[in-house]
Amino acid sequence: MEVKLISCFFVLDSEKNDNIRKNDIQKVKVLVTKNKELPSIDFDGTGMKKQLKKYLSNIVNTDIFHLEQVFTMDDQNGVRILYLGITNIENIINLKEDYQLIDFKVKDNNTITFGEESYRYQTVEVEGNNNIEYFHKIDVDDMDIRRTLLSLLISYKKIRGSVDSSDILFKFMGSSFSLEDVRILYETIKDSTVDKSNFRKKIVKYCEKIETKEQVKSGFRPSQKYRFKPLKEDIWI
């Protein structure tokens, strides 16, 4: 039986905002080949996570990223095992030339943005044997694209389902960040808005203040910067 390890590798990127009063514009991107396929490798019989991490490290030229198994999918020829990867763009110094980072977004629970294209989808609940399963029907004829989008959607929903109960947001952050950066990312992933004050109280336990040498622009003091303070030692594994 063929076992293929599939990587759904999300990267937080940003671009400068023309309005200096506001934070930089954050974008979640996904790592794909030049043909927009997900990085994948055949399992060689050794440790799955260790093998995939080595493979991805060679692509992004860093081993500073989070990696976890999220789902197993049956395939005609065997099994596809999905792994979720997360990092910040500052950790990727030299991306291997056969790969690229393209925009990814899930909006209104019915639209996926993948690069320059958008695709509609519907989530269907199916009840059986005292259990409810969820299936995503994606409106695209190309089976390869559908499979790629399904893998990404499952992994992205794993992130979305974990942001309120874990420190997964901080796996997107760079070496320093503001509390506003974290809130903006949260709202992007959840596709919703939150109360700023309550949100800051919730996440500050993961944050440690740091001093920076940022210059004050046009009389405005830069936002207080923080670094991640793990509550348990399970980060970057």
What is the residue whose two structure tokens read 């059986």?
Answer: 128
Summarised one tens digit per residue, pLDDT across range 106-137 is 999 999 999 999 999 999 888 767 777 778 99
**pLDDT mean over 25-53:** 95
CA–CA separation, 53 and 13 (whole Å): 21
Check pLDDT > 50 for residue 60.
yes
Give the pLDDT of residue 214. 58
Per-residue pLDDT band at 76 (split at 50, 70, 90): confident
Q: What proportion of the chain, given as a percentage, has pLDDT over 70?
A: 89
Check pLDDT > 60 for residue 21.
no
Check pLDDT > 80 for residue 24.
no
Summarised one tens digit per residue, pLDDT across range 181-228 is 999 999 999 999 999 999 999 999 999 999 876 545 545 567 789 999
CA–CA separation, 185 and 11 (whole Å): 12
What is the residue whose two structure tokens read 């959607």?
Answer: 153
CA–CA separation, 145 and 168 (whole Å): 27
pTM: 0.90
Give the pLDDT of residue 236. 38
Mapping DSSP to helix (H, G, I), strand (E, B) and coil, where does residue 8 land? strand
Mapping DSSP to helix (H, G, I), strand (E, B) and coil, where does residue 142 land? coil
Give the pLDDT of residue 151. 96
CA–CA separation, 18 and 1 (whole Å): 53
Yes or no: say if 39 and 84 are a contact pair by the CB < 8 Å rule: no
Please choose, from the candidates 122, 163, 152, 130, the residue with its C-alpha nearest in 3D space to the C-alpha of residue 36. 152
Check pLDDT > 60 for residue 234.
no
Per-residue pLDDT band at 20 (split at 50, 70, 90): low
Give the pLDDT of residue 233. 53
**pLDDT mean over 159-165:** 94
CA–CA separation, 138 and 112 (whole Å): 9
Check pLDDT > 50 for residue 13.
yes
Phi, psi of 60 (to 5 degrees): -100, -5
Please choose, from the candidates 130, 197, 134, 206, the residue with its C-alpha nearest in 3D space to the C-alpha of residue 163. 206
Higher pLDDT, 180 or 215: 180
Q: Is 55 exposed, middle or buried (0-12, 13-18, 19+ CB in 10 A)?
A: middle
Per-residue pLDDT band at 235 (split at 50, 70, 90): very low
Give the pLDDT of residue 74. 85
Look up residue 106 and give its amino acid.
V
**pLDDT mean over 89-118:** 96
Q: For residue 3, what are the CA distances in angstroms to 38, 47, 72, 82?
A: 15, 12, 10, 11
